[in-house]
Structure 1
Amino acid sequence: MKSTTKFLLFLPLFLTLGSCKDFLDEKAFDFVTSSNFFQNKSDAQVAVNGIYSQLQQNNAFYGRRVYILSDVFSDEAKAYGTGERPDLENMTYNSANSEIFNWYTILYQTVNRCNNIVEKIPAVPVNTAFTEAEHNRMIAEARFVRALMYFELVRYFGAVPLVTKATASVEDNKNFPRSPEADVYKQIIDDLTFAEANLEKEAAIPNTYKGRASSGAATGLLAKVILTRAYLPFGTPDDFKTALAKLNQLINAKEYDLMPTYPEVFDITKETGKEHLFAIQYDFSPNNVSDLIGYITPPQTSPGVSYGSFVVERPFYDAFPNDDKIRKGWNFYTKFFRPDGSILIDYGAPGRDPFVAKFRDPGRTAAVDRVNYFILRYADILLLQSEAANRVNAADPLKYEGINKVRARVQLPPVAQEPDIEKFEKLVLDERHWELCFEGQRRHDIIRVGKFVSILKAAGKPFVEEKHRYLPIPDVERGLNPALTQNPGF
C-alpha cells in the first residue's frame, strides 16, 4: 500500500495509456513524461484518451470498488465473509479501511490527469491542424471528468482539498487544506458549464468515438449536481428551478430517449444506445475489462469465474413489487437450474439471499466481462425531472411525466395523483430504487433527500448514524498532508 501513496494527488511520472474501445486504440504511448509531451494535437488527444483509460481500472474504479462503496453501503446489497467489505455494510469501518483509501486515491489521481490537460493544452499552438474548437473540446472533456471526480469526492467525503493545478511531487500536496463543500460544488458547476458549451452533441460523435463525454452528458450531470446542492444548507434559493430548467432543456432537445424495453438497456450490443448519456466503456481488450459480474453472480452459474461475494439484501428483494414483473424478473437471480431443467438451488426461497442478474455478458468465459458501468442514463434524467418539478411546484402536472414514462416502459400504470411534496418524493425515490438498483445510485439518493439514517435503520442496519453520510479521510492521507482534518465521529 505504501508504494502507491506517493502518487496520491499528483500526475504519475509516466502516463501509461490503455485503450478505451475504438477511440483509445488510435495511439498508445507508454512512459511519456509531461515535460516533453503536449507538442501537437496527437499528443493532446492521447492525454485525453488517458483520462478515459484511467476510469476503466476495474479493480480500483468503476467496477467492484464503487459497487462496494455505493450499493453495499445502502439497503440494496451486502457482502459475504469477514473483513473490510462487511465493515462498510455494517457501519463498523474506520479511517484505516483500504477500500476507502483506494477510492480516495484513484479519484485524486484522475483529477490530476485532468488538471495537467487543462493546463497544458492551451500552450499548444492553435492552427489548421488543431483548431480552437478542438482545443476547447479536449479541455472540456478533461473538465467534465474532473467535475465527475469532484462530485464523487464531495458526496463521499464532504469537504475535500480543491486542487485545480497539476502537481508533481508529494511536497506539492503537503499543505492542501480541505475546501468547504460550497466551494467544491461551485468548481464542479463551473467545469460542467464549460463542458456543456464546448463538448460535441451526441449525434456529432462518430461511432468509433462513442463513450466520449458529450454536451448532453454535461447538461445531465450539471442538472444532477445542482439538484443535489439544492438540498444542502449552502444551496441557492433557485437551485431547484435551475436544475429543473436544465433537465427540461435536455429532455426537450430529444437527443436521448428510453430504450424500447428494460432488458435492452443492459444488452452489451446496445450499450452506446439512445438511453446512455455517459458510461465507463469496457470490452475484452487488455486493461479494458470489468470484473463486476464475477463478484455479484452465484458461483454455480460459472464455476471458477463467479464468486458470489455480494448478494441482494433480502428485505429489498421482498419489498420489490410483485406486479413489477419485468424489472423484478430481470434484476435478480432467484433460481439455478440443472441441465434437465429442474431447480438445483432456489435463491428466492425464504431464508436465502438472491443474487444480482441485472448485468449480463453472454460471451463471458473468465472472471472478467464487457459490461459498461453507467454513470448517467435517460431514465435517471426523467426521474430527476419528476423530483425537481415536485420541489418547484407540487401542483405542476409536469412532475408526473418523467416517472410515468419510466413506468410505462415496464408496463406499470401511472402513479396516483399526489399533491403532497413529501409523499410524492417518496414515490420518486421508490421508483429510482426499482429502476436504478445496483447502479450506484441508492446511497446518494437517500442522502440527497435526507433519509439516509431512517431508511437504513428501517432496513436492519441499527448502527448507522448521521456521521456515516460521509466516509472518513484515510489515515494515510492525513499522514502525508498535516493540513487535512478528519470528518466528525472518526
Structure 2
Amino acid sequence: MKHKLIYTCLLAATLGLSSCDKWLELKPQDGIVREEFWKTKEQVDAAVTGIYASMLGSGTTGLPPLPEYLFIWGEARTDMVTPGFRATSSELDIVNWNILPTNAFSNWRSLYETINYCNTVIELAPGVLKNDNTFTQAHLDRAIGEARTIRALMYFYLVRTFKEVPLKLTATISDEDIKPLAKSSADSVLNQIELDLTTAEPLLPTTYGNIDRDKGRATRYTVNAILADVYLWREKYQQCANECDKVINSGNFGLVGTTTSLFDALYYRGNSAESIFELQFSAQKTNSFHPMMLISTRRWGAAPHLMEMVFGQDATNIPPQEDKRGDGCSLRANDATIWKYIGANDAGTELRSQEQSFAHWIFYRYADILLMKAEAINQLNQPLEASRLVMNIRNRANALEVGLSMDSTSQENMEEFILAERQREFAFEGKRWYDVLRNAKRNNFLNRRYLLDMVSISIPKERQQVAFNTLRDENSLYFPIFLYEIQSNTLLVQNPFYK
C-alpha cells in the first residue's frame, strides 16, 4: 500500500485535538512538507505530539483506535470477558480460537503508524538544531527520548502478540522509502526494545511540571515501568526488580483509594497519584469504549463468573464486605457491564454519555510496579518479601479470600497467587492474556495449565477440546500476520501455525 506523507499524518493527528487545557493541543505552526516543517523547535514538539495523538486514534488509516486493539489482544482470549450480541465475526473467532490471517485484529498497521511517527522524530529532529538556535540539545534529547520510549512500547505489544515482526527503525517519509522487510526474531526485537529504553531513560525528565503531562507523556518512570515489564517477560528477574525500585524509591507515586473511591480516582477522573502513563482521552477526543460496552450496543461484557470466582462475595458479614475492585469499579455485576470505562459513579447507577466517554487507557500504574516486583523477587526465591508487596495491594482493595490461599513460604504458591491478584487488580486493562502467557511459558512452559485453566472457563465446552489441542502448538499462542501484509510483502513468512 502507498503511504501518505508523514507530515500529512502528523497534521491529521494533531488537528483533532482542541482542548485549551490539554498539552496535546499543540499543532504544527506552518507548512507540512519536509523543507518547510523541520525548521523550529515548535515543529519538533508538534511532531512529538503527533506520536501521542496517533495512539488516540487520530491517524490516517481509518482503523479503530489503538486502545481497542490493545483491549482485544489483551482480553478477548481470556476468562475475563464475554462477547456481546454486537461482537464482530473477527472478535468471535478470537474467543473461539478460530483465528485466521484475515482476522481484522491481526492487522498491525496502527502500531506501525505510531512507530513511523517515532522513527521520523528520531531521524529528522536532530537537523532542527542547525535551523533554530533556540532549540537546545536538552530539548532534542527529550524529544528523542519520548520517541524511543513509545517506539519500544509499540514493539513490546507487537512481539508479545505476533512473536516475530518486522523491525523498522528508519522513517518512511515518502513512497520511495517503502521497501519489503522480513520479520526479525523475537529476541532481536526485544533487544532493540531494551536498547531504546535504556537509551531513552537519561534523556527524559522525571516531571514536566504539569499533572496531565506527567501522566500523559513518557517520563523516566515510564521507561522504568516498561523496562520492568520487558525484563519480566524475558525472565531477567533482578533487572525487573531494579527497575521497579527506581519507581518505588522515587516517592512520586502511591496507591490511591484507601480512604476514597478507587473507581473515581483511577478511572473516572484519571491521572491519579498512582498513574505512571495513560492515554489522555478528553471531551474533545473521546474513546471508542462506549458503544463497545454499553448494553444496548454491546460487543464486550464482563464474564459471568467474576464476582463469585475472582472478586468474591461475602455471605457471612452484615453488611457484607466487598473487594473495592469488583462491583461498581471494574464491572457492574447486575448486567455484566465493564464499568471502569463507561461508568460515572461507584454505585453502579450512572453511566457516562457518549460525549463523556473519555476514560483514559492506563498503560502502567503504581500497583503494577508492586506486583511486577513481587513476581520478580518470588522467582528469585523470596516468597515472603513478595507476599508483603501483594498485601499492600490487597489491603488497599479490601480483598476477600477467593480460591487459592496465600502461602508466603512457597514460591510455587506465590506465583499462582500473584497471577490471580493481577487478574483482580487489572481487570479489563489489557493485561490478562500477557500475564497468563508470561507465567505459562516460564521454564519451557512448565505451567501450561495456566492457559488450559483459562480456556476451560472462557470458551464453550463443545469447543474446549479443539482449543486444548490448539494450545499444544506454541505458535498458536501468537496471532497470524494479516493476509494483506503477506500478499503485499513477499519477504514476510506466515506464523507456522497458520500456514
Aligned to 1:224: 229
Q: Deviations over 1:143-167 (max 9, x none)?
A: 1110111001101111111111112
Aligned to 2:445: none
Select 2:103's aligned residue among 88, 94, 97. 97
Instruction: Point out the structure with the larger helix share.
Output: 2
Select 1:147's aligned residue among 148, 152, 171. 152
Taking the TM superposition and a 5 Å limit, the aligned residue runs for 1:333-348 are: 333-335=332-334, 347=335
Aligned to 2:486: 478
Aligned to 1:79: 83
Aligned to 1:453: 451
Aligned to 2:409: 419
Taking the TM superposition and a 5 Å limit, the aligned residue runs for 1:53-452 are: 53-57=53-57, 60-81=64-85, 83-101=89-107, 104-125=108-129, 129-169=134-174, 172-202=177-207, 204-207=208-211, 209-210=213-214, 211-230=216-235, 239-261=236-258, 262-269=262-269, 271-285=270-284, 288-299=285-296, 307-320=297-310, 321-323=312-314, 324-330=322-328, 331-335=330-334, 347=335, 354-360=336-342, 362=344, 364-366=352-354, 369-395=357-383, 397-412=384-399, 416-450=406-440, 451=448
- Structure 1 range deviating more: 426-435 or 123-132: 123-132
> How far is the alpha carbon of 1:367 from its aligned partner?
6.3
- Residue identity matched to 1:442: R
Tell me: CA distance 1:85–1:20, structure 2 relative to 1, closer, same or farther (3 Å).
Answer: farther
Q: Measure, in 2, the Cα distance between the counterparts of 1:280 and 1:64.
A: 12
> How far is the alpha carbon of 1:422 from its aligned partner?
2.1
Q: Deviations over 1:424-453 (max 9, x none)?
A: 111000000011010000000001111463
Q: Measure, in 2, the Cα distance between the counterparts of 1:209 and 1:367.
A: 23
Q: Measure, in 2, the Cα distance between the counterparts of 1:484 and 1:35.
A: 34
Q: Measure, in 1, the Cα distance between the counterparts of 2:303 and 2:80.
A: 5
- 1:456 is paired with a residue whose SS is helix
Q: Deviations over 1:24-65 (max 9, x none)?
A: 213346972334321110110000001111010186234333
- 1:326 is paired with a residue whose SS is coil
TM-score (norm 2): 0.83
- 1:201 is paired with a residue whose SS is coil
Alignment pair present for 1:6 and 2:2: yes
Aligned to 2:318: none
Tell me: CA distance 1:14–1:443, structure 2 relative to 1, closer, same or farther (3 Å).
Answer: closer
> How far is the alpha carbon of 1:413 from its aligned partner?
7.5
Q: Measure, in 2, the Cα distance between the counterparts of 1:194 and 1:267.
A: 32
Tell me: CA distance 1:254–1:53, structure 2 relative to 1, closer, same or farther (3 Å).
Answer: same
Q: CA RMSD in A?
A: 2.4
- Residue identity matched to 1:326: K
- 2:46 is paired with a residue whose SS is helix
Q: Measure, in 2, the Cα distance between the counterparts of 1:375 and 1:416.
A: 27
- 1:386 is paired with a residue whose SS is helix
- Residue identity matched to 1:428: I
Flag structure 1 segments of 5+ consecutive residues without an equivalent.
Answer: 231-238, 300-306, 336-346, 348-353
- Residue identity matched to 2:162: F
The percentage of counterpart residues that share the same residue type is 26
Tell me: CA distance 1:44–1:6, structure 2 relative to 1, closer, same or farther (3 Å).
Answer: same
Q: Measure, in 1, the Cα distance between the counterparts of 2:379 and 2:171.
A: 39
- Structure 1 range deviating more: 23-32 or 445-454: 23-32
Tell me: CA distance 1:317–1:469, structure 2 relative to 1, closer, same or farther (3 Å).
Answer: farther
Q: Measure, in 2, the Cα distance between the counterparts of 1:208 and 1:67.
A: 23
> How far is the alpha carbon of 1:260 from its aligned partner?
2.9
- Residue identity matched to 1:332: L
Q: Measure, in 2, the Cα distance between the counterparts of 1:360 and 1:97.
A: 27
Q: Measure, in 2, the Cα distance between the counterparts of 1:222 and 1:121.
A: 25
Whether the aligned pair in 2 keeps the contact of 1:20 and 1:49 (CA below 8 Å) is: no
> How far is the alpha carbon of 1:93 from its aligned partner?
1.9
Q: Measure, in 2, the Cα distance between the counterparts of 1:75 and 1:333.
A: 17
Whether the aligned pair in 2 keeps the contact of 1:20 and 1:282 (CA below 8 Å) is: no
- 1:402 is paired with a residue whose SS is helix
Whether the aligned pair in 1 keeps the contact of 2:256 and 2:274 (CA below 8 Å) is: yes
Q: Deviations over 1:272-314 (max 9, x none)?
A: 12111001110111xx211213321322xxxxxxx22211222
- 1:376 is paired with a residue whose SS is strand
Q: Measure, in 2, the Cα distance between the counterparts of 1:49 and 1:20.
A: 13
Alignment pair present for 1:488 and 2:496: yes
Whether the aligned pair in 1 keeps the contact of 2:75 and 2:81 (CA below 8 Å) is: yes
Tell me: CA distance 1:401–1:264, structure 2 relative to 1, closer, same or farther (3 Å).
Answer: farther
Q: Measure, in 1, the Cα distance between the counterparts of 2:226 and 2:114.
A: 18
- 2:324 is paired with a residue whose SS is helix
Whether the aligned pair in 1 keeps the contact of 2:51 and 2:147 (CA below 8 Å) is: yes
User: Aligned residues, how many?
Assistant: 446
- Residue identity matched to 1:282: F
Whether the aligned pair in 2 keeps the contact of 1:23 and 1:208 (CA below 8 Å) is: yes
TM-score (norm 1): 0.85
Tell me: CA distance 1:93–1:31, structure 2 relative to 1, closer, same or farther (3 Å).
Answer: farther
> How far is the alpha carbon of 1:207 from its aligned partner?
3.7
Flag structure 2 segments of 5+ consecutive residues without an equivalent.
Answer: 315-321, 345-350, 441-447
- 2:363 is paired with a residue whose SS is strand
> How far is the alpha carbon of 1:366 from its aligned partner?
2.6
